[in-house]
Structure 1
Amino acid sequence: MDPKIKRLIKKVKKGDQAAFSELVNLYKNQVYNICYRMVGLPQEAEDLAQETFLRAYTNIERYETNRKFSTWLYRIATNLSIDYLRKKKPSDYLDAEIPGTNGFNMYMHIASCERLPEEHLLENEMQETIQYEISQLPPKYRSVIVLKYLQDLSLKEISEILDIPETTVKTRVHRGREALRKRLRHFF
């Protein structure tokens, strides 16, 4: 483990809130990205990221210092996101109209790189399509696809985050990729 992280965790376990703030600053973007890619809604992802850090802080005594901190933290974020998806109402989907907006939906909030207007439009449509198709995968496949391809984690790290065997991760990545390929085949 990184000596800086180890030092910060020791301080947090002694009640140092400033040290925890440093940990939050180090990991907030990665945690938010995991949550966002899992649930697809910026506000919900922000809430889930905050809940992740709250849970990490209140359960810091359970963290085993011989394990990688980021893995432990990403597991909390992934589990909270999966729990959210299980409880989610159908009206929370990305293509659901935002009340009082004359047909606007959450797809319009997906970021893209600015280029020529045509390129921007095509890229935005592709991002929306891919995010939508990822959001349609069952949570067990969605979580490994997000962690593997969007967070660029190794199979071993994903195995630790999800607390499943590495062979199961491999299988889920393969099946999730195949499911995505089938869903996207008419676009390519």
Structure 2
Amino acid sequence: MNAFQASSVKKYDDEDLMEYFQNGEETAFNELVFRYEDRLHNFLYRYTHDHQDCEDLVQETFLRVHKSKHSYERIAKFSTWMYTIALNLAKSLYKKKQRMYKVSIHKDESDPDDRELLLEDSNILQDDALHEQLCMEQLEKALQELPDDFREVVVLRDLQQLTYEEISEITDTPMGTVKSRINRGRSQVQALIKDYVKLGTN
């Protein structure tokens, strides 16, 4: 590779930065942290719903990236490799604390294969903000009841907007299985939310 230019660090892609970091350029690692710190925080907070746990996981993820830099091979996207580390750390914390994941999801308009999750509630409240809050509470409750495998891919797809290919790599799951789990997970969420709405009207 050409000589690293710290003054032009923004122009390098993630994989270039990782390669320069492997060759001893600490500035390259700092740029990767800058690029992904907020995204990792957003991703991991949906698993922990605890700011301190989230901060600890973000720091531990970057520490693992730093310590394991020579295990990274350029044939993989840096982001996929990093998210795999973060997801494994989140799973470990989840098992340790026996916490349920809490997430919110949305439809990715840019993906024609993405199925919209329709949340219909005939009970319209006067306060729109309160109505939205109650819908989100029902959504989180429903997601907590999903099997781990379904919840995992929904988080990666709908929160982080990762591609099916990336999710397949991160979870070490065939592409067809990933798509099936996402669609089945969303269908289950819809069914559960309808049940909650019915219970609330009784």
Segments of structure 1 that go 5 or more residues without pairing to the other structure are 95-116
Q: Return closer, same or farther for 1:86/1:175 CA change in 2, 3 Å cut-off.
A: farther
Shift of 1:89: 4.0
Q: Where does residue 111 of structure 2 map in the other structure? A: none
Shift of 1:171: 2.2
- Residue 24 (structure 1) aligned to one of 16, 19, 33: 33
Work out whether 1:52 is the aligned partner of 2:46.
no
1:167-186 alignment runs, 5 A limit: 167-186=176-195
- Residue 78 (structure 2) aligned to one of 69, 79, 92: 69
Q: SS of 1:66's equivalent?
A: coil
Distance 2:98 2:155 in 1: 21
Distance 1:184 1:135 in 2: 12
- 8 Å Cα contact 1:85-1:139 kept in structure 2: no
Q: Where does residue 159 of structure 2 map in the other structure? A: 150
Q: Where does residue 12 of structure 1 map in the other structure? A: 21
Work out whether 1:80 is the aligned partner of 2:96.
no
Higher mean Cα deviation, 43-52 or 133-142?
133-142
Shift of 1:145: 0.6
Instruction: Name the structure where helix makes up a greater proportion of residues.
Output: 1
Structure exhibiting the larger radius of gyration computed from Cα positions: 2
1:82-121 alignment runs, 5 A limit: 82-89=91-98, 118-121=127-130
* TM-score, normalised with respect to structure 2: 0.71
Distance 1:5 1:93 in 2: 29
Distance 2:187 2:101 in 1: 22
Amino acid of the residue matched to residue 148 of structure 2?
P
Q: Return closer, same or farther for 1:93/1:169 CA change in 2, 3 Å cut-off.
A: closer
Work out whether 1:163 is the aligned partner of 2:172.
yes
Q: Return closer, same or farther for 1:8/1:29 CA change in 2, 3 Å cut-off.
A: same
Large movers: runs of 4+ above 6 Å: none
- 8 Å Cα contact 2:80-2:169 kept in structure 1: yes
Shift of 1:17: 2.4
Amino acid of the residue matched to residue 119 of structure 1?
D
Seq. identity, %: 38
Distance 2:50 2:35 in 1: 22
Distance 1:140 1:176 in 2: 9
Shift of 1:164: 1.4
* TM-score, normalised with respect to structure 1: 0.76
Q: Return closer, same or farther for 1:135/1:22 CA change in 2, 3 Å cut-off.
A: farther
Distance 1:141 1:39 in 2: 17
Aligned residues, how many?
Answer: 164
- 8 Å Cα contact 1:133-1:180 kept in structure 2: yes
